[in-house]
Structure 1
Amino acid sequence: MYFDRHFSLITGYRFLLKDVIKYIAIIDYFFDSKYKILDIGCGRKPYKKLLKKSAAKEAGADYVGLDVCECEYANPDIIGNSENIPCDNSSFDAVMTVFVLDDSFYIKKTFCEISRVLKDGGYYFAFEAQSTSIHNPPFDFFRFAPNAMIELAKEVNLELIRYDTYGGDFANVGFGFISIIRNTLSSLRLEPLLGPIFYLPINVIFRLLDLIGRLKVFRNKYKNNSLGYFYIFKKVENA
């Protein structure tokens, strides 16, 4: 199982999990030889298994996980935070964050640190939320629209290569249903018993609707209310 209990099938976010896995799995294809990647906010390193040598290339990840502590929820290789990364300048070919930036209050410092530890020509892969419920209090500060991410990155010599949405209007509706059902059943102490009965059909129905909404005929109209985005930035040399 990837992530934690909130991303397992039984709690209802399976369609988001599929998008995360799909995007992280492509990181390996940006490198023709072995590369070193820093996973900021690694938790128990659920993404490490997705970064592996592909059949077509000699690529493969030398993976380093960073988190704020070693505990039940985190098993990092190094302890630190995104605003003060305890690594040398230009020490990584890639950096990745997955639902991490919203926990950083000094967000400009985080971007500076990401750029600092990246080699010139290195890549920053970010999977971040634009719309989600309040979580992890008191460490939940921001949501990120594309223009904000692009401008923050530009200030530290990170150039946008591409970005894609995950979860449009239909996914937002599905998430809303899941949240309402979970809160109601939890209050009645029935969530463990009845939750899966509701979550599974919601996943199936709204995942399908989300995929249909991405067809070209709809001209991206159902992507505007996106849950979030997957970004790829490349570090450019100082002018």
Structure 2
Amino acid sequence: MAGMRRLLPSGLYKRLDPFEASIEMFVRNVAAQIPPGKRVLDAGAGEGRFKSFFAHTEYVGIDFAQGDSSWDYSNLDVIGRLEELPFPNLSFDHVLSIVVLEHIPQPGRAIEEFRRVLKPDGMVHLVVPHMWEEHQRPYDFFRFTSSGIRYLLEAAGIRIRKIQPIGGFFWQLGRRLMGVLSFTQGGWRWLLFPIFAPVFGLVLPLCCYYLDTLDRDRAYTLGFIAEGWKQ
């Protein structure tokens, strides 16, 4: 999908991968609402994808730096475990953690650490997956329901602001259909790519993007946005 993002117009790509587009919109909105000079911890920052969004803040990116061997972790400010954050109490105004908690063996412990380093009334901003393929193995441990992430946040002393599903059945189906293209890579299977790509990589995912308004229950969502305050 990263390669497609470079090749396709942004409007088209956002419809083919609405989950990633929703994440980017969410993080941009979070950043826009934070006043200059506030301290922001990006917990599980990876390659620092969101660092530029927080240029007006005191941004700190931390990651264990072992999830993906192809990633460049050189832009991290700190390498460390989220279950044992190397920061004093009351260090940050906001904690951001985007599609990270599934890679933590003790996600509840990580959220407790988020709360510990937050200042009073500080905010946690999370995205967690619900219906996803395995990735970054062997560091892929969990998937989350809305009830599950609510329980973890409240148990850690975080007062819920919102838990919002990211898409429904058809966005999830569109992602699965795009996944068909992964079976057309290597050897003779590349011959299938020009046959499958227009259907599974364009037409059907686009249809799924627009059909998603039919699913009002959102039980088949790809993941959840969750936010809350330190109590």
How would you bin the TM-score normalised by the shorter chain? Answer: 0.7 to 0.9
1:90-138: CA deviations, max 9, x gaps?
1010011111000111122111111111111000000110110111111
Does the aligned pair in 2 maintain the 1:163–1:231 contact within 8 Å?
Answer: yes
User: What letter corresponds to residue 208 of structure 2 in structure 1?
Assistant: F
In the alignment, which of 205, 208, 211 is matched to residue 207 of structure 2?
A: 205
User: What letter corresponds to residue 230 of structure 1 in structure 2?
Assistant: I
Unaligned runs of 5+ in 2: none
- Superposed, 1:9-24 pairs within 5 Å as 14-24=17-27
The residue number in structure 1 matching 2:126 is 126
The 3-state SS of whatever aligns with 1:224 is: coil
Matched, 1:228 2:223: yes
Residues 9 and 87 of structure 1: CA distance in aligned 2, closer, same or farther (over 3 Å): same
The 3-state SS of whatever aligns with 1:190 is: helix
What value does the CA root-mean-square deviation take over the aligned residues? 2.7
Q: Percent identity?
A: 22
The 3-state SS of whatever aligns with 1:83 is: helix
Residues 225 and 8 of structure 1: CA distance in aligned 2, closer, same or farther (over 3 Å): same
Please, what TM-score do these two structures have when normalized by structure 2?
0.83
User: What letter corresponds to residue 209 of structure 2 in structure 1?
Assistant: R
The residue number in structure 2 matching 1:42 is 45
Matched, 1:5 2:2: yes
Taking the aligned partners of 1:229 and 1:168, their CA distance within structure 2 comes to 11
Compute the displacement of 1:8 (Å): 3.1
Taking the aligned partners of 2:45 and 2:129, their CA distance within structure 1 comes to 17
Give the structure with the larger helix fraction.
Answer: 2
The 3-state SS of whatever aligns with 2:134 is: coil
User: What letter corresponds to residue 207 of structure 1 in structure 2?
Assistant: Y
Taking the aligned partners of 1:193 and 1:184, their CA distance within structure 2 comes to 5
Taking the aligned partners of 1:142 and 1:91, their CA distance within structure 2 comes to 28
- How many equivalent pairs are there? 219
Matched, 1:51 2:54: yes
Taking the aligned partners of 1:9 and 1:224, their CA distance within structure 2 comes to 32
The residue number in structure 2 matching 1:55 is none
User: What letter corresponds to residue 64 of structure 1 in structure 2?
Assistant: V
Does the aligned pair in 1 maintain the 2:184–2:193 contact within 8 Å?
Answer: no
1:45-92: CA deviations, max 9, x gaps?
11122335xxxxxxx322111112397512311110211111111101
Residues 187 and 175 of structure 1: CA distance in aligned 2, closer, same or farther (over 3 Å): farther
Residues 187 and 86 of structure 1: CA distance in aligned 2, closer, same or farther (over 3 Å): farther
Matched, 1:64 2:98: no
Residues 166 and 39 of structure 1: CA distance in aligned 2, closer, same or farther (over 3 Å): same
The 3-state SS of whatever aligns with 1:160 is: strand
1:110-168: CA deviations, max 9, x gaps?
11111111111000000110110111111111111111111111122101001211121
Taking the aligned partners of 1:174 and 1:6, their CA distance within structure 2 comes to 18
The 3-state SS of whatever aligns with 1:167 is: coil
User: What letter corresponds to residue 65 of structure 2 in structure 1?
Assistant: C
Residues 24 and 77 of structure 1: CA distance in aligned 2, closer, same or farther (over 3 Å): same
- Superposed, 1:1-239 pairs within 5 Å as 5=2, 8=5, 14-51=17-54, 60-69=56-65, 73=71, 74=73, 75-186=75-186, 188-190=188-190, 194=194, 197=198, 198-210=200-212, 212-213=213-214, 220-221=216-217, 223-236=218-231
Please, what TM-score do these two structures have when normalized by structure 1?
0.81
Taking the aligned partners of 2:122 and 2:2, their CA distance within structure 1 comes to 33
